[in-house]
């Protein structure tokens, strides 16, 4: 596809030119039997829209095509089957709430461990824990992601999840010191701690900071194993004044300031969401150089 004409739309962090839109329309018209997935695969290949590991970025492309259709720029064929992503999550209530709190300090827990979510049983357990006990509730994590369960011989202790980073964060972007083009090219190297839960009856001193420190050590290798590259920076957002972010600071995260309460979809510059502290954790010493390349 030609990339020299003006941008007709920007969705999912990608600019689509007028010739890009025309080429997608042409492919849909000449291959009426193509499914939405096949259209996304063709578009990724034609645009060379790739993940850092060289694979096609099909899921992002499928979302982008839907948004282009919402804007009236293309017309996709009807879906071949219903997607389960839009169904409301219904917990199964397999997690039993104990009558008494667990007051064991971190140093006295029996064989604490953090393990990756693998398989449907783990996924259901993680979803239920977040749905029932996290104040934000359950929402499918965006983009590349890694989920963990925290356990010991005493039982399930908590859950946390990492996912795609926020597109723009003023405090973070100033601190990194990257240009807009550098941010677009390297944003995948920043991973967002989107959910962090310790079950409400677990009152274990130092457990939260231990979890964060352990994940900071193990996540880069887990991420590389799954996606073919290592992230260099973690970020998270702590709602003020609901939480103080003490456990993050205890795990050596750095607070960069607060968001403006606008949210990523704000268009009229109206602060309608709670302000949040922006905290980051560098996973390697030369993270700024990696992000600015």
Q: Please state, in angstroms and rounded to a whole number, the distance separating the CA atoms of residues 135 and 145.
A: 20
One domain, residues 56 and 199: no
Quick check: 5 and 18 in contact, CB under 8 A?
yes
Q: Please state, in angstroms and rounded to a whole number, the distance separating the CA atoms of residues 6 and 263.
A: 28
* Structural domain contains residue 78: no
Pairing of strands 190-198, 233-239: parallel
One domain, residues 146 and 200: yes
One domain, residues 51 and 195: no
One domain, residues 152 and 249: yes
Strand partners, 32: none
Report pLDDT for 3.
47
One domain, residues 16 and 121: no
* Structural domain contains residue 251: yes
* Structural domain contains residue 262: yes
Task: Render pLDDT for 13-52 as a digit per residue (tens, 0 to 9).
Answer: 788 999 999 999 999 999 999 999 999 999 999 999 988 7
* Structural domain contains residue 214: yes
One domain, residues 149 and 22: no
One domain, residues 285 and 239: yes
Task: State the chain's mean pLDDT as an integer.
Answer: 89
How many CB atoms are closer than 10 A to CB 90? 10
- Per the structure, the count of domains in the chain is 2
Task: Render pLDDT for 72-126 as a digit per residue (tens, 0 to 9).
Answer: 999 999 988 765 555 667 777 889 999 999 999 999 999 999 999 999 999 999 9
Choosing from 40, 70, 100, the residue where a domain stops is 70
Report pLDDT for 274.
83
Q: Which helix (H) or strand (E) holds 175?
A: helix 170-176
Identify which of 166, 111, 158 has the alpha carbon closest to the alpha carbon of residue 132. Answer: 158
Kindly state the average pLDDT of the residues 195-205: 96
Task: Render pLDDT for 106-115 as a digit per residue (tens, 0 to 9).
Answer: 999 999 999 9
* Structural domain contains residue 22: yes
Q: At residue 266, does pLDDT exceed 60?
A: no
Q: Please state, in angstroms and rounded to a whole number, the distance separating the CA atoms of residues 57 and 49.
A: 6
Residue 152 belongs to a domain with what CATH number?
Answer: 3.40.630.30
Q: At residue 57, does pLDDT exceed 90?
A: no
DSSP code of residue 205:
T
One domain, residues 178 and 40: no
Q: At residue 138, does pLDDT exceed 80?
A: yes
* Structural domain contains residue 79: no
Report pLDDT for 284.
94
Q: Helix or strand or coil: residue 14?
A: strand
Report pLDDT for 11.
82
H/E/C letters for each residue in 28-72?
HHHCCCCCHHHHHHHHHHHHCCECCCCCECHHHHHHHHHHHHHCC
* Structural domain contains residue 21: yes
One domain, residues 56 and 98: no
One domain, residues 121 and 201: yes
Residue 214 domain boundaries: 88-292
* Structural domain contains residue 76: no
Kindly state the average pLDDT of the residues 162-172: 93
One domain, residues 248 and 126: yes
Quick check: 134 and 160 in contact, CB under 8 A?
no
One domain, residues 124 and 193: yes
How many CB atoms are closer than 10 A to CB 199? 20
């Amino acid at each position: 596809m030609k990339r020299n004409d003006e941008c007709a739309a920007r969705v999912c962090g990608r600019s689509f030119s007028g010739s890009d839109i025309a080429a997608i329309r042409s492919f849909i018209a000449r291959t009426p039997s193509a499914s939405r997935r096949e259209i996304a695969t063709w578009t990724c290949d034609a645009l060379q829209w790739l993940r850092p590991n060289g694979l096609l970025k099909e899921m992002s492309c499928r979302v982008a095509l839907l948004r282009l259709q919402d804007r009236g720029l293309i017309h996709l064929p009807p879906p071949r089957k219903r997607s389960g992503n839009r169904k409301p999550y219904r917990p199964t209530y397999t997690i039993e709430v104990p009558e008494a709190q667990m007051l064991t300090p971190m140093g006295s827990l029996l064989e604490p461990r953090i393990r990756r979510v693998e398989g449907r049983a783990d996924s259901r357990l993680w979803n239920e824990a977040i749905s029932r006990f996290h104040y934000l509730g359950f929402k499918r994590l965006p983009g590349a992601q890694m989920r963990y369960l925290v356990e010991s011989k005493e039982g399930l202790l908590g859950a946390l999840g990492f996912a795609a980073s926020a597109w723009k964060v003023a405090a973070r972007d100033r601190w990194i010191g990257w240009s807009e083009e550098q941010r677009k090219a390297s944003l995948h190297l920043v991973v967002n701690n989107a959910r962090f839960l310790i079950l409400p009856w677990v009152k274990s001193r130092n457990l939260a900071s231990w979890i964060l420190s352990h994940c900071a050590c193990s996540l880069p290798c887990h991420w590389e194993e799954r996606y073919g590259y290592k992230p260099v920076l973690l970020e998270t957002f702590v709602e003020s004044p609901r939480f103080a972010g003490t456990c993050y600071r205890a795990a050596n995260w750095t607070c960069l300031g607060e968001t403006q309460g606008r949210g990523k979809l704000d268009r009229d510059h109206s602060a309608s969401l709670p302000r949040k502290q922006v905290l980051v954790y560098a996973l390697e010493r030369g993270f700024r150089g990696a992000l600015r390349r």
